[in-house]
């Protein structure tokens, strides 16, 4: 294979999460939730932003770490893409991150990012980062040939206290260096599967909610809490990821059964620990139903679940209109009830648990410490997984893996990825342990004060990171900076 034939991909990754952490066992103690259930379904903890940071400071921190940890020449970067659903400015996006990084590079006596830098922002719920990555891959393979690109996925996932989503909060950013000849993993866009369908009130953040009586009544500040419906959102996630994965399988011209047996790494968008497990069980049952492997197992599962083989088979060819269910008042009706019943049973079987251990365990324990990072959740898991593989000296260069992204609304992408020869060297620079280090656990009073944006005295000062220094107040005819944030890099 010549250099021109190689697939583009990612050469380096870095992670930033806030130091402030909420341990979920303690959260369960003060909210009365079951720690056993939360630990099994959600994870171990989540991070929250301090008063001095937001989505842009986190993104800038991740990008600067990427440059410094991998000795990247800023002048070679031709594109900086930001994927997020937490932006607080409707005009500017990645250029805000660029501005912070440039000023920090000045302080560190390093050259600034190229003046010819593209600075797009991508928004589609949790899929914005994947769309940003696809754009960067196309850039380095076409008009940006010979240059590098940086993609940063950053988000703040926050929910109203007392809501069903509260334990799935999180905050963080992941930056990736994209090159024509990748050092960490290659990305096969030619065989990627895509899917999208409009799902109405699945998971939304309409501006008008801020001016509606009854929105976030228990919160003493303007919030970015989403409007969501748990069961309906789960159906939407499963339906969309299934269509994207099955589109990828068709492009690869491979059966579900043979692919699931041969693939060595499965990474899904991960709003909480159990969601990817549910998705994989759902996909596995559909593969069984199509008859390309383990027919006896499939028939036995259907019988034990109390559903007919024909019902599951019918669902594999159905194309339910989930939005139509909403319009008819049936948003909580499972359009794949038979498949879901079998998948629920399958998740308890030793054979499927072994599949999870073999295909989905890399980096999984570390991601339980992060919480929901929205657009950064998938790349964070990939980073954790490849670092885990490198530390365990697993021979995964050239192995078939897949990254499945999802964004509410709905859209999904299933993209084949392959660790590069010598990926271990690049993985060693990810520094996940360093990123997770120095955590400060919040007690209930501290967490609630921070959640409400009340004054909070914390026992640490920011260091080697970006901070919101001040917020503009001018609103005159000659000059205006009302609500514009000014940032500084604290060495």
pLDDT of amino acid 204: 94
What does the longest C-alpha to C-alpha distance in the chain come to? 77
For residues 455 and 50, give the distance between their C-alpha atoms in angstroms, rounded to a whole number: 11
Residue by residue, pLDDT tens for the chain (491 residues) are 444 568 999 999 999 999 999 999 999 999 999 999 999 999 999 999 999 999 999 999 999 999 999 999 999 999 999 999 999 999 999 999 999 999 999 999 999 999 999 999 999 999 999 999 999 999 999 999 999 999 999 999 999 999 999 999 999 999 999 999 999 999 999 999 999 999 999 999 999 999 898 898 877 677 899 999 989 999 999 999 999 999 999 999 999 989 999 999 999 999 999 999 999 999 999 999 987 667 888 999 999 999 999 999 999 999 999 999 999 999 999 999 999 999 999 999 999 999 999 999 999 999 999 999 999 999 999 999 999 999 999 999 999 999 999 999 999 999 999 999 999 999 999 999 999 999 999 999 999 999 988 877 877 899 999 999 999 999 999 999 999 999 999 99
**313 CA to centre of own chain:** 31
Please calculate the CA angle 108-112-117 and round it to the nearest 5 degrees.
150
For residues 485 and 93, give the distance between their C-alpha atoms in angstroms, rounded to a whole number: 13
What are the extents of the domains in the chain? 3-490
pLDDT of amino acid 3: 45
Phi-psi group of 400: left, alpha or beta (phi > 0 → left; psi -120 to 50 → alpha; rest → beta): beta
The two tokens of residue 162 are 């007392």
Q: Specify the 3-state DSSP secondary structure of 441.
A: strand
Please list, in sequence order, all residues whose beta carbon lies within 8 angstroms of the beta carbon of residue 345, skipping any fewer than 6 positions away: 301, 304, 305
Please calculate the CA angle 73-187-10 and round it to the nearest 5 degrees.
20
Q: What's phi and psi for 80, nearest 5 deg?
A: -125, 105
For residues 460 and 440, give the distance between their C-alpha atoms in angstroms, rounded to a whole number: 9
CA contacts within 13 A on the Cβ side of 333: 12
Is-contact 289 257, C-beta < 8 A?
no
Q: Is the peptide bond before 324 cis (omega within 30 degrees of 0)?
A: no
Please list, in sequence order, all residues whose beta carbon lies within 8 angstroms of the beta carbon of residue 98, skipping any fewer than 6 positions away: 80, 113, 117, 119
For residues 463 and 434, give the distance between their C-alpha atoms in angstroms, rounded to a whole number: 14
Least Cα distance to 6 among 222, 161, 183, 150 occurs for 183
- Residue carrying structure tokens 């000062």: 461
- Residue carrying structure tokens 């994965």: 245
For residues 145 and 139, give the distance between their C-alpha atoms in angstroms, rounded to a whole number: 7
For residues 10 and 187, give the distance between their C-alpha atoms in angstroms, rounded to a whole number: 8
For residues 136 and 422, give the distance between their C-alpha atoms in angstroms, rounded to a whole number: 22
For residues 59 and 122, give the distance between their C-alpha atoms in angstroms, rounded to a whole number: 13
pLDDT of amino acid 453: 83
**372 CA to centre of own chain:** 7
CATH class in words for 3-490 = alpha beta
pLDDT of amino acid 2: 40
Is-contact 277 269, C-beta < 8 A?
no
The two tokens of residue 451 are 């959640």
Beta strands of 353-449 (E only): which ranges? 401-407, 411-419, 440-441
**2 burial via Cβ count (<10 Å: 0-12, 13-18, 19+):** exposed
pLDDT of amino acid 218: 77
pLDDT of amino acid 292: 63
């Amino acid at each position: 294979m010549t250099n021109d034939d190689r697939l583009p991909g990612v050469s380096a990754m870095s992670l930033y999460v806030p130091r402030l952490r909420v341990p979920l066992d303690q959260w369960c103690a003060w909210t009365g939730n079951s720690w056993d259930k939360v630990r099994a379904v959600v994870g171990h903890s989540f991070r929250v932003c301090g008063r001095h940071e937001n989505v842009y400071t986190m993104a800038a921190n991740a990008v600067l770490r990427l440059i410094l940890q991998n000795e990247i020449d800023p002048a070679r970067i031709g594109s900086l893409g930001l994927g997020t659903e937490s932006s607080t400015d409707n005009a500017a996006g990645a250029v805000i991150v660029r501005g912070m990084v440039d000023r920090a590079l000045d302080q560190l006596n390093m050259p600034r990012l190229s003046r010819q830098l593209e600075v797009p922002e991508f928004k589609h719920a949790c899929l914005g980062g994947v769309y940003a990555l696809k754009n960067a891959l196309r850039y380095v393979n076409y008009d940006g040939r010979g240059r590098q690109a940086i993609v940063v996925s950053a988000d703040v996932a926050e929910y109203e206290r007392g809501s069903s989503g509260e334990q799935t909060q999180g905050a963080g950013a992941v930056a990736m260096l994209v090159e024509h000849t990748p050092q960490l993993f290659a990305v096969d866009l030619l065989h990627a599967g895509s899917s999208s369908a409009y799902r109405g009130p699945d998971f939304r953040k309409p501006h008008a909610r801020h001016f509606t009586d009854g929105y976030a009544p228990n919160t003493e500040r303007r919030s970015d809490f989403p409007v969501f419906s748990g069961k309906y959102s789960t159906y939407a996630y499963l339906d969309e990821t299934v269509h994207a994965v099955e589109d990828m399988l068709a492009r690869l011209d491979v059966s579900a059964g043979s692919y699931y047996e041969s693939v060595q790494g499965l990474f899904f968008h991960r709003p909480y620990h159990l969601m990817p497990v549910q998705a994989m069980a759902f996909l596995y049952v559909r593969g069984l139903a199509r008859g390309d492997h383990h027919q006896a197992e499939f028939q036995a599962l259907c019988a034990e679940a109390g559903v007919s083989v024909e019902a599951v088979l019918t669902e594999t060819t159905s194309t339910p209109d989930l939005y139509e269910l909403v319009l008819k008042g049936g948003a909580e009706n499972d359009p794949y009830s038979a498949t879901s019943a079998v998948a629920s049973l399958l998740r308890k079987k030793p054979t499927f648990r072994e599949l999870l251990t073999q295909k989905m365990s890399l980096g999984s324990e570390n991601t339980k410490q992060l919480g929901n990072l929205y657009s950064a959740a998938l790349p964070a898991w990939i980073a954790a997984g490849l670092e885990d593989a490198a530390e365990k000296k697993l021979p995964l260069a050239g192995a078939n893996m897949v990254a499945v992204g999802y964004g509410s609304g709905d859209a999904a992408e299933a993209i084949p990825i392959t660790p590069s020869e010598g990926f271990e060297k690049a993985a060693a620079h990810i520094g996940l342990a360093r990123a997770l280090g120095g955590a400060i656990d919040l007690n209930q009073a501290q967490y609630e004060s921070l959640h409400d944006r009340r004054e909070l005295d914390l026992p640490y000062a920011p260091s080697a990171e970006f901070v919101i220094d001040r917020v503009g107040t001018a609103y005159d005819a000659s000059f205006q900076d009302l609500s514009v944030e000014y940032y500084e890099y604290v060495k």
